[in-house]
Protein backbone atom coordinates (compact mmCIF):
# COMPACT_ATOMS: atom_id res chain seq x y z
CA UNK A 1 0.00 0.00 0.00
CA UNK A 2 1.33 3.43 -0.94
CA UNK A 3 0.45 6.41 1.21
CA UNK A 4 1.81 9.15 -1.03
CA UNK A 5 0.97 9.83 -4.63
CA UNK A 6 3.58 8.75 -7.15
CA UNK A 7 4.42 12.35 -8.03
CA UNK A 8 4.82 13.39 -4.42
CA UNK A 9 6.86 10.31 -3.57
CA UNK A 10 9.19 11.08 -6.47
CA UNK A 11 9.61 14.64 -5.26
CA UNK A 12 10.45 13.41 -1.77
CA UNK A 13 13.11 11.07 -3.11
CA UNK A 14 14.64 13.12 -5.90
CA UNK A 15 13.42 16.69 -5.53
CA UNK A 16 11.64 18.78 -8.12
CA UNK A 17 12.56 22.17 -9.50
CA UNK A 18 8.86 22.93 -9.99
CA UNK A 19 7.78 21.98 -6.49
CA UNK A 20 8.07 24.08 -3.34
CA UNK A 21 8.32 20.87 -1.32
CA UNK A 22 11.86 20.25 -2.66
CA UNK A 23 12.57 16.99 -0.83
CA UNK A 24 11.89 18.35 2.67
CA UNK A 25 12.80 15.19 4.53
CA UNK A 26 16.16 14.37 3.00
CA UNK A 27 17.77 17.70 2.14
CA UNK A 28 18.40 19.59 5.37
CA UNK A 29 19.56 22.61 3.42
CA UNK A 30 16.14 22.94 1.80
CA UNK A 31 13.26 24.94 3.16
CA UNK A 32 12.71 24.61 6.91
CA UNK A 33 9.11 23.63 7.40
CA UNK A 34 9.31 24.27 11.11
CA UNK A 35 10.14 27.94 10.44
CA UNK A 36 7.59 28.19 7.64
CA UNK A 37 4.78 27.00 9.91
CA UNK A 38 5.64 29.25 12.86
CA UNK A 39 3.00 31.84 11.95
CA UNK A 40 0.22 29.29 12.47
CA UNK A 41 1.09 29.01 16.16
CA UNK A 42 -0.94 32.10 17.07
CA UNK A 43 -3.56 31.30 19.70
CA UNK A 44 -7.08 32.74 19.81
CA UNK A 45 -8.48 32.52 23.35
CA UNK A 46 -11.96 33.30 22.02
CA UNK A 47 -11.77 30.50 19.44
CA UNK A 48 -10.42 28.06 22.03
CA UNK A 49 -13.24 28.87 24.44
CA UNK A 50 -15.76 28.41 21.65
CA UNK A 51 -14.30 25.00 20.74
CA UNK A 52 -14.48 23.91 24.37
CA UNK A 53 -18.10 25.04 24.68
CA UNK A 54 -19.32 23.29 21.52
CA UNK A 55 -17.67 20.08 22.70
CA UNK A 56 -18.41 19.97 26.44
CA UNK A 57 -22.03 21.15 26.32
CA UNK A 58 -23.23 18.67 23.65
CA UNK A 59 -21.42 15.85 25.47
CA UNK A 60 -23.17 16.65 28.75
CA UNK A 61 -26.52 17.08 26.98
CA UNK A 62 -26.22 13.77 25.12
CA UNK A 63 -25.24 11.97 28.32
CA UNK A 64 -28.20 13.44 30.20
CA UNK A 65 -30.72 12.73 27.43
CA UNK A 66 -29.48 9.16 27.05
CA UNK A 67 -29.67 8.52 30.80
CA UNK A 68 -33.18 9.98 30.99
CA UNK A 69 -34.45 7.84 28.10
CA UNK A 70 -32.91 4.65 29.51
CA UNK A 71 -34.20 5.44 33.00
CA UNK A 72 -37.75 5.52 31.59
CA UNK A 73 -37.32 2.31 29.61
CA UNK A 74 -36.62 3.82 26.19
CA UNK A 75 -33.66 1.62 25.30
CA UNK A 76 -33.34 3.10 21.81
CA UNK A 77 -31.81 6.08 23.59
CA UNK A 78 -28.56 4.12 23.84
CA UNK A 79 -27.95 4.96 20.17
CA UNK A 80 -27.01 8.42 21.43
CA UNK A 81 -23.93 6.92 23.08
CA UNK A 82 -22.35 6.85 19.61
CA UNK A 83 -22.26 10.65 19.07
CA UNK A 84 -21.50 11.08 22.78
CA UNK A 85 -18.40 8.93 22.27
CA UNK A 86 -17.47 11.16 19.34
CA UNK A 87 -17.63 14.23 21.56
CA UNK A 88 -15.54 12.42 24.18
CA UNK A 89 -12.86 11.80 21.54
CA UNK A 90 -12.97 15.52 20.74
CA UNK A 91 -12.61 16.30 24.44
CA UNK A 92 -9.44 14.24 24.44
CA UNK A 93 -8.13 16.33 21.53
CA UNK A 94 -8.79 19.46 23.59
CA UNK A 95 -6.90 17.92 26.49
CA UNK A 96 -4.13 17.00 24.06
CA UNK A 97 -3.85 20.61 22.90
CA UNK A 98 -3.77 21.80 26.51
CA UNK A 99 -0.75 19.53 26.98
CA UNK A 100 1.01 21.35 24.15
CA UNK A 101 -0.03 24.76 25.52
CA UNK A 102 -2.12 25.45 22.42
CA UNK A 103 -5.50 26.66 23.71
CA UNK A 104 -4.49 29.65 25.84
CA UNK A 105 -1.41 31.82 26.20
CA UNK A 106 -1.05 31.11 29.91
CA UNK A 107 0.47 27.75 30.73
CA UNK A 108 -1.54 27.47 33.96
CA UNK A 109 -4.81 28.01 32.06
CA UNK A 110 -4.01 25.15 29.71
CA UNK A 111 -2.97 22.91 32.59
CA UNK A 112 -6.07 23.38 34.73
CA UNK A 113 -8.46 22.97 31.80
CA UNK A 114 -6.53 19.85 30.79
CA UNK A 115 -6.83 18.45 34.30
CA UNK A 116 -10.59 19.03 34.41
CA UNK A 117 -11.09 17.45 30.98
CA UNK A 118 -8.93 14.54 32.17
CA UNK A 119 -11.69 13.61 34.60
CA UNK A 120 -14.08 13.12 31.67
CA UNK A 121 -11.54 11.27 29.51
CA UNK A 122 -10.20 9.11 32.38
CA UNK A 123 -6.73 10.42 31.55
CA UNK A 124 -4.47 11.92 34.27
CA UNK A 125 -3.33 15.09 32.56
CA UNK A 126 0.14 15.73 34.02
CA UNK A 127 1.16 12.09 33.72
CA UNK A 128 -0.11 11.86 30.14
CA UNK A 129 1.51 15.18 29.18
CA UNK A 130 4.95 13.92 30.23
CA UNK A 131 4.69 10.64 28.33
CA UNK A 132 3.32 12.44 25.28
CA UNK A 133 6.26 14.87 25.33
CA UNK A 134 8.59 11.87 25.25
CA UNK A 135 6.64 10.54 22.26
CA UNK A 136 7.13 13.78 20.34
CA UNK A 137 10.83 13.88 21.16
CA UNK A 138 11.45 10.31 20.04
CA UNK A 139 8.85 9.34 17.41
CA UNK A 140 10.52 7.20 14.75
CA UNK A 141 13.67 6.66 16.83
CA UNK A 142 14.47 2.95 17.11
CA UNK A 143 16.74 3.53 20.10
CA UNK A 144 14.13 5.42 22.12
CA UNK A 145 11.01 3.28 21.80
CA UNK A 146 8.74 2.27 24.65
CA UNK A 147 7.14 5.40 26.14
CA UNK A 148 3.99 6.97 24.72
CA UNK A 149 3.93 4.85 21.56
CA UNK A 150 2.70 1.54 20.17
CA UNK A 151 5.27 -1.17 20.89
CA UNK A 152 6.87 -2.07 17.55
CA UNK A 153 9.57 -4.68 17.03
CA UNK A 154 11.95 -4.95 14.13
CA UNK A 155 12.03 -8.15 12.09
CA UNK A 156 15.42 -8.97 13.60
CA UNK A 157 14.16 -8.49 17.16
CA UNK A 158 11.07 -10.59 16.49
CA UNK A 159 13.10 -13.48 15.08
CA UNK A 160 15.34 -13.40 18.16
CA UNK A 161 12.37 -13.99 20.49
CA UNK A 162 11.44 -17.33 21.96
CA UNK A 163 8.25 -19.00 20.76
CA UNK A 164 6.47 -17.66 23.85
CA UNK A 165 7.83 -14.17 23.18
CA UNK A 166 6.53 -14.25 19.60
CA UNK A 167 3.12 -15.41 20.81
CA UNK A 168 2.94 -12.55 23.31
CA UNK A 169 3.81 -10.01 20.62
CA UNK A 170 1.28 -11.60 18.24
CA UNK A 171 -1.41 -11.33 20.89
CA UNK A 172 -0.47 -7.71 21.66
CA UNK A 173 -0.73 -6.72 18.00
CA UNK A 174 -3.94 -8.68 17.34
CA UNK A 175 -6.80 -6.29 16.38
CA UNK A 176 -9.07 -7.60 19.15
CA UNK A 177 -6.44 -6.70 21.74
CA UNK A 178 -5.07 -3.57 20.06
CA UNK A 179 -8.43 -1.91 19.42
CA UNK A 180 -10.73 -3.70 21.88
CA UNK A 181 -9.27 -5.09 25.07
CA UNK A 182 -6.22 -2.83 24.99
CA UNK A 183 -8.03 0.54 24.95
CA UNK A 184 -10.39 -0.64 27.71
CA UNK A 185 -7.44 -1.67 29.85
CA UNK A 186 -5.51 1.53 29.09
CA UNK A 187 -8.21 4.05 30.00
CA UNK A 188 -10.06 2.11 32.71
CA UNK A 189 -7.18 0.42 34.54
CA UNK A 190 -3.68 1.43 33.43
CA UNK A 191 -4.27 5.17 33.74
CA UNK A 192 -5.23 4.69 37.38
CA UNK A 193 -1.50 4.43 38.19
CA UNK A 194 1.42 6.38 36.65
CA UNK A 195 2.57 3.37 34.65
CA UNK A 196 5.99 4.01 33.11
CA UNK A 197 6.71 6.93 35.44
CA UNK A 198 6.48 5.16 38.79
CA UNK A 199 9.86 6.57 39.87
CA UNK A 200 9.56 9.99 38.23
CA UNK A 201 8.72 11.89 41.41
CA UNK A 202 5.46 12.98 42.97
CA UNK A 203 3.80 14.81 40.08
CA UNK A 204 2.68 11.72 38.11
CA UNK A 205 1.31 10.22 41.33
CA UNK A 206 -0.49 13.42 42.34
CA UNK A 207 -1.93 13.71 38.82
CA UNK A 208 -3.29 10.17 38.72
CA UNK A 209 -4.65 10.18 42.28
CA UNK A 210 -6.32 13.57 41.79
CA UNK A 211 -7.86 12.37 38.52
CA UNK A 212 -9.10 9.19 40.20
CA UNK A 213 -10.75 11.21 42.97
CA UNK A 214 -12.17 13.58 40.37
CA UNK A 215 -13.70 10.64 38.51
CA UNK A 216 -15.13 9.09 41.69
CA UNK A 217 -17.05 12.21 42.76
CA UNK A 218 -19.26 12.69 39.64
CA UNK A 219 -19.62 8.92 39.36
CA UNK A 220 -21.07 8.76 42.84
CA UNK A 221 -23.36 11.72 42.15
CA UNK A 222 -24.70 10.32 38.88
CA UNK A 223 -25.24 6.87 40.39
CA UNK A 224 -27.22 8.52 43.17
CA UNK A 225 -29.30 10.47 40.62
CA UNK A 226 -30.04 7.78 38.00
CA UNK A 227 -29.04 4.53 39.66
CA UNK A 228 -26.06 2.26 39.09
CA UNK A 229 -27.57 0.22 36.25
CA UNK A 230 -28.58 3.27 34.19
CA UNK A 231 -25.27 4.98 34.86
CA UNK A 232 -23.16 2.06 33.69
CA UNK A 233 -25.44 1.33 30.72
CA UNK A 234 -24.70 4.85 29.49
CA UNK A 235 -21.12 5.40 30.62
CA UNK A 236 -19.55 2.07 29.68
CA UNK A 237 -20.32 2.11 25.92
CA UNK A 238 -19.34 5.79 25.65
CA UNK A 239 -16.02 5.14 27.35
CA UNK A 240 -15.19 1.98 25.43
CA UNK A 241 -16.12 3.37 22.00
CA UNK A 242 -14.17 6.57 22.61
CA UNK A 243 -11.16 4.62 23.92
CA UNK A 244 -11.08 2.34 20.88
CA UNK A 245 -11.48 5.27 18.48
CA UNK A 246 -8.70 7.17 20.25
CA UNK A 247 -6.28 4.24 20.09
CA UNK A 248 -7.18 3.68 16.43
CA UNK A 249 -6.35 7.29 15.59
CA UNK A 250 -3.04 7.12 17.44
CA UNK A 251 -2.19 3.83 15.76
CA UNK A 252 -2.87 5.06 12.21
CA UNK A 253 -0.88 8.22 12.83
CA UNK A 254 2.38 6.23 12.94
CA UNK A 255 1.69 2.62 11.95
CA UNK A 256 1.51 2.68 8.16
CA UNK A 257 3.61 0.90 5.55
CA UNK A 258 5.90 3.71 4.45
CA UNK A 259 6.38 5.23 7.88
CA UNK A 260 9.83 6.15 9.17
CA UNK A 261 12.08 4.54 11.77
CA UNK A 262 15.80 5.10 12.16
CA UNK A 263 18.54 4.66 14.71
CA UNK A 264 19.60 7.53 16.96
CA UNK A 265 22.61 8.42 14.80
CA UNK A 266 20.43 8.90 11.71
CA UNK A 267 17.34 10.31 13.38
CA UNK A 268 16.23 13.81 12.34
CA UNK A 269 13.23 15.62 13.82
CA UNK A 270 11.87 17.11 10.59
CA UNK A 271 12.49 13.92 8.64
CA UNK A 272 10.73 11.79 11.27
CA UNK A 273 7.79 14.18 11.49
CA UNK A 274 7.08 14.27 7.76
CA UNK A 275 7.73 10.63 6.89
CA UNK A 276 6.89 9.00 10.22
CA UNK A 277 3.53 10.67 10.83
CA UNK A 278 0.57 10.23 8.51
CA UNK A 279 -1.87 12.65 6.97
CA UNK A 280 -5.03 10.71 7.79
CA UNK A 281 -7.38 12.32 5.30
CA UNK A 282 -10.75 11.67 6.94
CA UNK A 283 -14.25 12.70 5.79
CA UNK A 284 -15.28 16.16 7.13
CA UNK A 285 -17.48 14.89 9.98
CA UNK A 286 -14.84 12.51 11.31
CA UNK A 287 -12.20 15.20 10.86
CA UNK A 288 -14.27 17.50 13.08
CA UNK A 289 -14.79 14.94 15.82
CA UNK A 290 -11.08 14.03 15.76
CA UNK A 291 -10.04 17.67 15.94
CA UNK A 292 -7.92 17.58 12.77
CA UNK A 293 -5.47 15.26 14.53
CA UNK A 294 -5.27 13.29 11.28
CA UNK A 295 -3.09 16.12 9.92
CA UNK A 296 -0.49 14.51 12.09
CA UNK A 297 2.62 15.14 10.02
CA UNK A 298 2.02 18.89 10.40
CA UNK A 299 1.29 18.46 14.10
CA UNK A 300 4.63 16.70 14.62
CA UNK A 301 6.45 19.34 12.58
CA UNK A 302 5.02 22.08 14.77
CA UNK A 303 3.22 20.79 17.90
CA UNK A 304 2.41 24.34 19.01
CA UNK A 305 -0.14 24.86 16.22
CA UNK A 306 -3.69 24.80 17.70
CA UNK A 307 -5.79 21.96 16.32
CA UNK A 308 -8.25 24.37 14.71
CA UNK A 309 -5.45 25.90 12.60
CA UNK A 310 -3.99 22.67 11.19
CA UNK A 311 -6.33 22.75 8.19
CA UNK A 312 -5.12 26.29 7.42
CA UNK A 313 -1.62 24.88 6.92
CA UNK A 314 -2.82 22.54 4.18
CA UNK A 315 -4.72 25.36 2.47
CA UNK A 316 -1.65 27.59 2.35
CA UNK A 317 0.79 24.74 1.66
CA UNK A 318 -1.12 22.27 -0.55
CA UNK A 319 2.15 20.49 -1.32
CA UNK A 320 1.85 18.91 2.14
CA UNK A 321 -1.51 17.31 1.39
CA UNK A 322 -0.12 14.18 -0.28
CA UNK A 323 2.81 13.63 2.07
CA UNK A 324 2.20 10.36 3.95
CA UNK A 325 -1.47 10.60 3.01
CA UNK A 326 -3.85 7.83 4.05
CA UNK A 327 -7.53 7.58 3.21
CA UNK A 328 -10.05 5.90 5.49
CA UNK A 329 -10.15 2.88 3.18
CA UNK A 330 -6.37 2.62 2.96
CA UNK A 331 -6.03 2.82 6.73
CA UNK A 332 -7.88 -0.47 7.20
CA UNK A 333 -4.96 -2.28 5.59
CA UNK A 334 -2.56 -0.92 8.21
CA UNK A 335 -3.90 -3.27 10.88
CA UNK A 336 -1.81 -6.17 9.55
CA UNK A 337 1.47 -4.17 9.57
CA UNK A 338 3.27 -5.16 12.76
CA UNK A 339 7.05 -5.38 12.21
CA UNK A 340 9.65 -2.90 11.01
CA UNK A 341 11.76 -4.40 8.22
CA UNK A 342 15.09 -2.63 8.53
CA UNK A 343 16.24 -3.81 5.10
CA UNK A 344 13.09 -2.87 3.16
CA UNK A 345 12.57 0.26 5.32
CA UNK A 346 8.86 -0.37 5.77
CA UNK A 347 6.35 -2.01 8.10
CA UNK A 348 5.45 -5.57 7.18
CA UNK A 349 2.94 -8.19 8.31
CA UNK A 350 3.62 -11.45 10.12
CA UNK A 351 2.89 -13.19 6.83
CA UNK A 352 5.46 -11.06 5.00
CA UNK A 353 8.05 -11.90 7.65
CA UNK A 354 7.30 -15.62 7.47
CA UNK A 355 7.52 -15.73 3.67
CA UNK A 356 10.79 -13.78 3.69
CA UNK A 357 12.21 -16.16 6.30
CA UNK A 358 11.20 -19.23 4.30
CA UNK A 359 12.65 -17.76 1.09
CA UNK A 360 15.98 -16.87 2.71
CA UNK A 361 18.91 -19.18 1.91
CA UNK A 362 19.73 -21.67 4.64
> Would you tell me the crossing angle of helices 81-99 and 45-71 to the nearest 10 degrees?
150
pLDDT the model gives residue 196: 64
Average pLDDT over residues 223-248: 96
Output 6 or 243, whichever has higher pLDDT.
243
Average pLDDT over residues 199-224: 86
pLDDT at 214 exceeding the cut of 80: yes
pLDDT the model gives residue 307: 97
Percent of the chain with pLDDT over 90: 73
pLDDT the model gives residue 31: 52
Q: How confident is the model at residue 335 (pLDDT cuts 50, 70, 90)?
A: very high
pLDDT the model gives residue 146: 77
Dist. CA 139–CA 40, nearest whole Å? 22
pLDDT the model gives residue 199: 64
pLDDT the model gives residue 13: 34
pLDDT the model gives residue 204: 76
Q: How confident is the model at residue 201 (pLDDT cuts 50, 70, 90)?
A: low
Percent of the chain with pLDDT over 70: 89
pLDDT at 21 exceeding the cut of 70: no
Q: How confident is the model at residue 119 (pLDDT cuts 50, 70, 90)?
A: very high
Q: Where are the alpha helices (DSSP H) in 74-162?
A: 81-99, 107-121, 125-138, 155-160
pLDDT the model gives residue 7: 40
pLDDT at 20 exceeding the cut of 80: no
Locate the DSSP E strands across the chain: 153-154, 279-281, 325-327, 339-341, 346-348
Burial class (CB in 10 A: 0-12, 13-18, 19+), 92: buried
pLDDT at 22 exceeding the cut of 80: no
In the β-sheet with 346-348, what is the strand arrangement from edge to edge? 153-154, 339-341, 346-348
- Residue 300 contacts by C-beta under 8 Å, 6 or more apart in sequence? 136, 139, 272, 273, 274, 276, 277
pLDDT at 224 exceeding the cut of 80: yes
Average pLDDT over residues 96-120: 96
Residue 192's closest CA among 217, 212, 206?
212
Contact 313, 149 (CB under 8 A): no
Mean pLDDT of the residues in the chain: 88
pLDDT the model gives residue 59: 98
**Bridge partners of 341?**
346
Strands 279-281 and 325-327: parallel
Average pLDDT over residues 53-71: 97
Average pLDDT over residues 150-157: 94
Amino acid sequence: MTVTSNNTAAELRHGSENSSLKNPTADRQSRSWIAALAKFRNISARRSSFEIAITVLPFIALWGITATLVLHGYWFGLILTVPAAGFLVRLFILQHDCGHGNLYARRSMNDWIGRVIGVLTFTPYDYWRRTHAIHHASAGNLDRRGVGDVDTLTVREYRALSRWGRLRYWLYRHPVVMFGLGPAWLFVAQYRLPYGLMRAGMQPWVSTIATNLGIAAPFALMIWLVGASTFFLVQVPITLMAASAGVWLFYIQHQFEETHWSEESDWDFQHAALEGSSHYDLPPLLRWFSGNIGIHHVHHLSPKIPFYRLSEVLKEHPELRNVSRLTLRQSLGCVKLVLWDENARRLVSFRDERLARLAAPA
